[in-house]
Chain A
Amino acid sequence: MRSGSGILGEMNDSRPPLWRWLIVVFLVWVLLATAAWLPRRSHSDPLTVAVGLWPGCETLLLARERGMLTADHVQLIEMSWASATIRAFGSGVVDAAVLSLDEVMHLRETGRDFRVVMVMDASKGGDALIARDGMQKLEDLKGRRVGVDLRGAGMYLLTYALERAGLKSTDLELVPMNLPETEDFFTSKEVDAVVTSEPWLTRLKAAGANSVFDSSQAQTPVYRVLVVSSDALRAQKAEVVRVMRAHFAMMKVLCQGAQGLGMDAVLRRQELSKEAFAGSWSRLKPFDLVENRELIGERKDGLGKAASQVEEKMRANGLLYQPLSANPWIDGSLLKGVRP
């Protein structure tokens, strides 16, 4: 008698279906991709913006007082020294800063990657060369000690003044100083004249100083712009737009007269009375959103043309030493995200 066990092993093997494995592999891929692509941080650091005491910057300070710029989104670093502001932005200590256009040219010399996203204002007398009583004309300054911020808007303005008077910088004794020091040096009579700006200009005029030349007489006005590092522009675009929106909103408030919530803080910062601040504010021309769009994006004789003139003037007077970076440095795209 024989066994029937030989039939074992002749049955087909039933393996799990392939689609089940494929689903599992797909899920594994999804989970690993999620783990890899999940951002390590759900937030961004607050945008740090360096602002000086220039009255045009008070829009941002007023916005902070009114709760439009909270510390978790935007941190304003108050720096009265313009040279400190440009140094802080140039070294990356702050993400954004309010600078004059000639200071922007200095930045372009360094090759720093940044963008001008907004023109805040143009100085219409807010920057001035002031002298003591008895020096009524520019020509009177010949051989005198003149205090000026050599790396700031003051030096740029002084070139216009000297040009008008037919003088050279060597005809004066230039005393380098920072803007806050102009008030101290002038009142202590250590210098005969200073190139200063608001709010020190108003205070010095109130003390009897005599303006012999101001920014309203310059061929190309002194523009103050908001510059933002390209890294911050990529990572904190929403915060930059928030700053721009706050500026335009508060600009209207300040143009309508200094009153309302937060104005006391502005006046304390400026160390000016309400009336004096109004006078100070009148010596600048703020640009609203529509004007900004024209200046930065649409108009051919906008900021680009002004920058060329500034560069030409600075280079002719030996204020620029190196060729400027060819990188794009104006970006008007963010203005589209700001609603009036």
Chain B
Amino acid sequence: MKFPGPLNLRLSLLLLCFGLLLIFVNHARNQSWLVERRIKRLEQDAYSKASRLSGMMQYLFRKPGSHRSGELEMSYASVSPDLELGVVCDSKDKVQFSSQMQWRLMDLAATPLKDVGPYMKEVRVTSMGKVFHEPGDGRMTAVFPFYEGYEARASGMVIMRYNAAITLKQTREDAFYESISQACVLGAGCLLLWLALDVLVTHRVRRIMGYTRALSDGQPPPPVLDGGDELAVISQAFAQAVEKLRETELSLLEASEQERRRIGRDLHDDVCQRIAAAQLKCGVLASTLMRESAQHSGLAQEVAAELAKAAQVARGFARGLAPVWLGQGGLAPALTELAEALSQSFSIRCDCDCDLAGNELAAWVETHVYRIVQELATNAAKHARPTWVSIRVSTVDERLRAEVESDGLPFDEQASRSEGLGMKFLQQRVRALGGTLKFLPGSVAGQGSLGLCEVPLFGIHHRTSD
């Protein structure tokens, strides 16, 4: 079973459904109980009134001249709102007293109670009064005999017919209104619960989700939750775990950078020197063979030329792996050198414009910015088949902007996001800087693309005096 909406809404709806079910069940039980109780009380009332009247009538009928008191007794009995009609009959079934005086001195068969013959027959046999339940909602007739004279045979009869339909209808309405009132209180409770959950849970869970989403999107994450409750602890622990992962990532980046530099230095200091020495010796060998007019002097010259090219390539590699200027405030020369190297390697025009407006960046920031630009520019030169690549680095309003633009094929961001080790390293470096990386269309419509890395500059990004 699926509920739409956020967690607090689901919980509140669940509670509301459960509460309404409870109220419905309670309403049915309550109504049934109230109706049963009402009928029971009516039965008791019928029994007590008819019983009392029969006793009173026995006394009055035996005392001639006091029958007017019977009228009074019947008047008081008729106060019950459920009494439809009450009569007192003599042994000849003639009505002597009635709650409605119009039936006095009439034959019982001529009154609305003409259908009680079977009840009277049963009661006369047993001489015991009885309350008979009839079809219908709360209809009953109390038939109680009394001795009219001094014969040992019950002859007079008190008959009282009750109809509690109106009262029972009111009872059901009362139960319904009570349930409506309960439902209102429940609804208010559910709204308050929704509000409490919204403040205490959902809103805070959303903040944790926003934190993870920001991390996933490479955006600056929102603050962690305050307090000591479970969600705050989860949020703080998660932030700490992310911090540790980031530190590990930075350590790996740093180790990788150091390894690059070591390989670059080794390449420059060892391999390049050896190639240069071999090139020199080959040149001497070629000169000697030429003076002796030896047959292989040309081949020696070719080897010397190849070795010169190899030395140049190796030096290029060494410069790429360990830029000389980096770490010493030399981001601009390093990038210029990078541009020249790309220009030579890929035979394209590569411009570089670096203006830091007097900002002195920390060494780790220079390194990351360089590597980011290097990755973007190399990728553009390799994959976009451009005719030109432009590198621009600037600082405006305490924000560093590193842009790499090229013509040629547009950059496929979705493809690059999911695959490619280089892009992952690129994202790592952007995260390390606390910046963002976006790919935008190039300035020439329909051609090329612009890789833009923006980094808000704080104190930690600037070079310190020590």
Q: Which residues of A contact B (CB under 8 A)?
A: 1-11, 13-16, 21, 24-25, 27-28, 31-32, 34-35, 38-43, 45-46, 48, 53, 61, 71-72, 75, 77-81, 84, 88, 93-94, 178, 180-181, 184, 188, 265-266, 268-269, 271
Instruction: List the 9 closest A-B pairs by CB distance, nearest first.
Output: A4-B434, A35-B184, A1-B364, A31-B188, A268-B102, A79-B75, A265-B102, A1-B254, A9-B223
CB-CB < 8 A to B460: which residues of A? Answer: 2, 4, 6
CB-CB < 8 A to A35: which residues of B? Answer: 181-182, 184-185, 188
Asked if B306 lies at the interface with its beta carbon under 8 angstroms from chain A, I say no
Given contacts A2-B460, A28-B191, A40-B174, whether A268 and B106 have CB atoms under 8 Å apart is yes
CB-CB < 8 A to B224: which residues of A? Answer: 8-9
Quick one: which of B251-280 are within 8 Å of A by CB?
A: 253-254, 257
Q: Mark B441-461, 1 if CB is under 8 A from A, else 0.
A: 000000000000000101011
Q: Mark B77-119, 1 if CB is under 8 A from A, else 0.
A: 0110100100000000000000111111110000000000000
* A11 and B170 contacting across the interface, CB-CB below 8 Å: no
* B184 and A3 contacting across the interface, CB-CB below 8 Å: no
Given A9-B224, A27-B191, 18 new contacts (CB under 8 A): A1-B363, A6-B460, A8-B220, A13-B207, A24-B194, A31-B188, A35-B182, A39-B177, A41-B173, A41-B174, A53-B101, A77-B79, A181-B68, A188-B65, A268-B103, A268-B106, A269-B100, A269-B102
Quick one: which of B404-440 are within 8 Å of A by CB?
A: 431-435
- Of the residues B65, B75, B246, contact of A184 by C-beta under 8 Å: B65
CB-CB < 8 A to A28: which residues of B? Answer: 188, 191-192, 195
* A48 and B79 contacting across the interface, CB-CB below 8 Å: yes
Count CB-based A-B contacts (< 8 Å).
159
Given contacts A24-B195, A31-B187, whether A180 and B71 have CB atoms under 8 Å apart is yes
CB-CB < 8 A to B78: which residues of A? Answer: 77-78
CB-CB < 8 A to A4: which residues of B? Answer: 431-435, 460-461
* A11 and B220 contacting across the interface, CB-CB below 8 Å: yes
A61 to B253, CA, bound (A): 105
Asked if B45 lies at the interface with its beta carbon under 8 angstroms from chain A, I say no
A271 to B221, CA, bound (A): 99
* A1 and B253 contacting across the interface, CB-CB below 8 Å: yes
* A6 and B173 contacting across the interface, CB-CB below 8 Å: no
Between-chain CB contacts (< 8 Å), 12 pairs: A4-B435, A13-B222, A28-B188, A42-B177, A77-B75, A77-B79, A84-B76, A184-B65, A266-B102, A268-B101, A269-B101, A269-B104
Select from chain B the residue with minimum beta-carbon distance to A72: B166
A84 to B77, CA, bound (A): 13
Q: Mark B146-181, 1 if CB is under 8 A from A, else 0.
A: 000000000000000000001000100110111011
- Of the residues A13, A16, A46, contact of B223 by C-beta under 8 Å: A13
CB-CB < 8 A to B102: which residues of A? Answer: 61, 265-266, 268-269
B110 smallest CB distance to A (angstroms) = 10
Asked if B239 lies at the interface with its beta carbon under 8 angstroms from chain A, I say yes
Given contacts A2-B460, A71-B166, A84-B75, whether A8 and B223 have CB atoms under 8 Å apart is yes
A24 to B99, CA, bound (A): 57
Quick one: which of B356-399 are within 8 Å of A by CB?
A: 362-364, 367
User: Chain B's interface: helix, strand, loop or mixed, by majority?
Assistant: helix
* B177 and A41 contacting across the interface, CB-CB below 8 Å: yes
- Of the residues A1, A40, A84, A266, contact of B257 by C-beta under 8 Å: A1
* B71 and A81 contacting across the interface, CB-CB below 8 Å: yes
CB-CB < 8 A to B84: which residues of A? Answer: 71
Asked if B72 lies at the interface with its beta carbon under 8 angstroms from chain A, I say yes
Q: Mark B203-246, 1 if CB is under 8 A from A, else 0.
A: 10001000000000000111110000000000000010001001
CB-CB < 8 A to A31: which residues of B? Answer: 184-185, 187-188, 191
Given contacts A15-B203, A21-B195, A41-B170, whether A6 and B458 have CB atoms under 8 Å apart is yes
CB-CB < 8 A to A8: which residues of B? Answer: 220-221, 223-224, 239
User: Chain A's interface: helix, strand, loop or mixed, by majority?
Assistant: loop
Select from chain A the residue with minimum beta-carbon distance to B110: A268
CB-CB < 8 A to B207: which residues of A? Answer: 13
A274 smallest CB distance to B (angstroms) = 15
CB-CB < 8 A to A42: which residues of B? Answer: 170, 173-174, 176-177
Asked if B351 lies at the interface with its beta carbon under 8 angstroms from chain A, I say no
Given contacts A42-B173, A268-B106, whether A16 and B199 have CB atoms under 8 Å apart is yes
A98 smallest CB distance to B (angstroms) = 14
A72 to B166, CA, bound (A): 6
CB-CB < 8 A to A34: which residues of B? Answer: 181, 184
Quick one: which of B42-84 are within 8 Å of A by CB?
A: 65, 68, 71-72, 75-76, 78-79, 81, 84
* A80 and B75 contacting across the interface, CB-CB below 8 Å: yes
CB-CB < 8 A to B182: which residues of A? Answer: 35
Given contacts A1-B367, A6-B458, A7-B220, whether A78 and B243 have CB atoms under 8 Å apart is no
Asked if B355 lies at the interface with its beta carbon under 8 angstroms from chain A, I say no
CB-CB < 8 A to A77: which residues of B? Answer: 75, 78-79
A127 to B363, CA, bound (A): 124
A25 to B79, CA, bound (A): 49
A38 to B187, CA, bound (A): 15
Interface centre among B101, B198, B207 (most CB of A within 10 A): B101
* A32 and B184 contacting across the interface, CB-CB below 8 Å: yes
A143 smallest CB distance to B (angstroms) = 25
A33 to B65, CA, bound (A): 62
A15 to B75, CA, bound (A): 72
A271 smallest CB distance to B (angstroms) = 8
